[in-house]
Amino acid sequence: MKSKSQLKLLLEIFTVFFKIGSFTFGGGFAMIPLIEKEVVENKKWVAEEEVVDVFAVAQSMPGAIAINSATFIGYKISGKIGAIIATTGVVLPSFLIITLIAIFFSRFQDAVVVKSVFSGIRPAIVGLISTAAIKVAKASIVDKTGIMLAILSIVLVVILDIQAVFIILGGAAVGLTVYCLFPEKTAKILSNGGKKD
């Protein structure tokens, strides 16, 4: 199986995903158009309809969207090895860049300029996170139960210091319970826009 052409294909998979990892700022959602362009238009590895399925799965399963998409597409092209190669390709630029920064940053973090840069950036980070939280809330809260769950999870974490894992599992449990108690009503909510777009 490991013919010359397969090695060439694996190398190509690696290069394409390395490129995707190197050129997208801002994570998963920013990568979607680039993945589409490379994998569907340029290389024609995956059909347009298939890639929509890939993104749907990538977004709803745990883990980074970029990693999930890379693994899925890599697997579709060339099985398990393809999945691993694509994932390695998409991860490697992050690893190289961040390691370099970490090495240098630990040397300069006590410099006055670096300190003042980060004192300006920190409030901006609060802004970014709160905007992200509002965006996720808008996309994921479809009814009163959702509002209550979101507020409850903030309270549980901030005041009672409950771990994130339990919040996630608890949220899923509430969702399933509501579904079991009111199957018809929940099915209706889920069918009209209950999904994240």
Partner 1 sequence: MIYMLLFLEFFKTGLFAVGGGLATLPFLQNISDKYGWFTSQELIDMIAISESTPGPIGINMATYVGYKTAYLPGAVIAILGLVTPSVIIIVLIAHYYMKFNEHPMVQAGFYGLRPAVAGLIGAAGFEVAKLSLFNTNKYLLTQKFADIVNIKSLLLFAVIVFLLNKYKKHPIYFLLGAAVIGIIFKY
Type of residue numbered 115: K
Query: Could you give the string, one character per residue 54-83, with x where binding to partner 1 holds by CB under 8 A and - elsewhere?
Result: --xxxxxxxxxxxxx--xx--xx---x--x
Closer by beta carbon to partner 1, 11 or else 139: 139
Among 173, 185, 188, 193, binds partner 1 (CB under 8 A): 173
In the complex, least distance from residue 4 CB atom to partner 1, rounded to whole angstroms: 25
In the complex, least distance from residue 39 CB atom to partner 1, rounded to whole angstroms: 14
22/2 Cα distance (integer angstroms): 28
CA max distance for the chain: 61
- The yes or no reply on residue 170 touching partner 1 (CB under 8 A) is yes
Own/partner contacts of 91-95, CB < 8 Å, gap of 24 or more, are: 91/21, 91/67, 92/18, 92/21, 93/18, 93/21, 93/22, 94/21
Among 11, 111, 116, 188, binds partner 1 (CB under 8 A): 116
Closer by beta carbon to partner 1, 4 or else 181: 181
Type of residue numbered 62: P
Query: Which of these ranges, 3-11, 38-46, 167-175, lies near partner 1 under the rule CB under 8 A?
Result: 167-175
Query: Could you give the string, one character per residue 124-143, with x where binding to partner 1 holds by CB under 8 A and - elsewhere?
Result: xxxxxxxxxx--xx-xxxx-
Type of residue numbered 120: G
- The yes or no reply on residue 108 touching partner 1 (CB under 8 A) is no
Closer by beta carbon to partner 1, 4 or else 108: 108
- The yes or no reply on residue 95 touching partner 1 (CB under 8 A) is yes
Q: What is the DSSP string of 79-112?
A: HHHHHHHHHHHHHHHHHHHHHHHHHHHHHHTTSH
Quote the tokens at residue 122. Answer: 């920190």
Among 3, 26, 107, 184, binds partner 1 (CB under 8 A): 26
Count of positions on this chain that bind partner 1 (CB under 8 A) = 104
Closer by beta carbon to partner 1, 8 or else 115: 115
DSSP tag of 18: H
Residue 10 makes CB contacts below 8 A (sequence gap 6+) with 78, 81, 82, 85
